[in-house]
């Protein structure tokens, strides 16, 4: 069982078939693609949208700043959102609020030392532990 299971269940109201497992899988694939480019690429997207301070708060060891679904939509862009929505089996309208709560926690857990993983092995280990995969 991954560390996100409780969070996903809480966000979905504990309902089965709410897309939590699908969004977990889609996030795992998105963040794991291209090694550290997954997280580094996200950081660049957020920076280019003027949301670098929000993303940085998720990486740092301090409190995570919240993000609004509309802000997240701009930072992720339509291609990534379609991938996440399709991978989860959820509509875009359902995915955005869930991601706005889930992504800060995921990035925070993947960066416990307050910095982005420096190599693919560390990223894969963190993703595996976070999502309950080996």
Which phi and psi (to 5°) does residue 119 adopt? -145, 165
Distance, in Å, from the CA atom of 21 to the CA atom of 1, rounded to the nearest integer, reads 11
Would you state the pLDDT for residue 7? 46
Cβ count near 43 (within 10 Å):
19
Q: What is the mean pLDDT of residues 11-37?
A: 57
Token pair listed for 123:
């990223």
| pLDDT band, residue 9 (cuts 50/70/90) | very low
Span 46-76, pLDDT tens digits: 999 999 999 999 999 999 999 999 999 999 8
- Indicate if the alpha-carbon torsion angle 108, 11, 5, 35 is positive or negative: negative
Q: What structural domains and CATH numbers belong to the chain?
A: 27-130 (1.10.10.690)
Q: Compute the average pLDDT of residues 16-39.
A: 62
Instruction: Check if the beta carbon of residue 95 is closer than 8 Å to that of residue 101.
Output: no
CB 117 within 8 A of CB 39: yes
Q: Higher-confidence residue: 41 or 59?
A: 59
Supply the pLDDT for residue 121. Answer: 59
pLDDT attached to residue 57: 96
Q: What's the whole-number average pLDDT of the chain? A: 75
Residue corresponding to tokens 């976070």: 130
Most confident of 33-42, 54-63, 81-90, 91-100: 54-63
Query: pLDDT at residue 20 above 60?
Result: no
Closest CA to 8 of 16, 20, 19: 20
């Amino acid at each position: 069982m991954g560390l996100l299971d409780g969070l996903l269940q809480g966000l979905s109201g504990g309902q089965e078939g709410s897309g939590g497992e699908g969004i977990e899988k889609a996030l795992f694939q998105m963040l794991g693609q291209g090694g550290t480019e997954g997280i580094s690429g996200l950081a660049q997207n957020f920076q280019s949208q003027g949301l670098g301070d929000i993303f940085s708060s998720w990486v740092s060891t301090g409190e995570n700043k919240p993000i609004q679904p509309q802000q997240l939509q701009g930072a992720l862009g339509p291609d990534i959102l379609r991938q996440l929505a399709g991978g989860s089996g959820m509509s875009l309208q359902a995915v955005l609020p869930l991601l706005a709560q889930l992504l800060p926690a995921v990035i925070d857990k993947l960066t416990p030392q307050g910095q982005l993983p420096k190599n693919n092995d560390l990223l894969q280990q963190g993703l595996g532990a976070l999502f309950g995969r080996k």
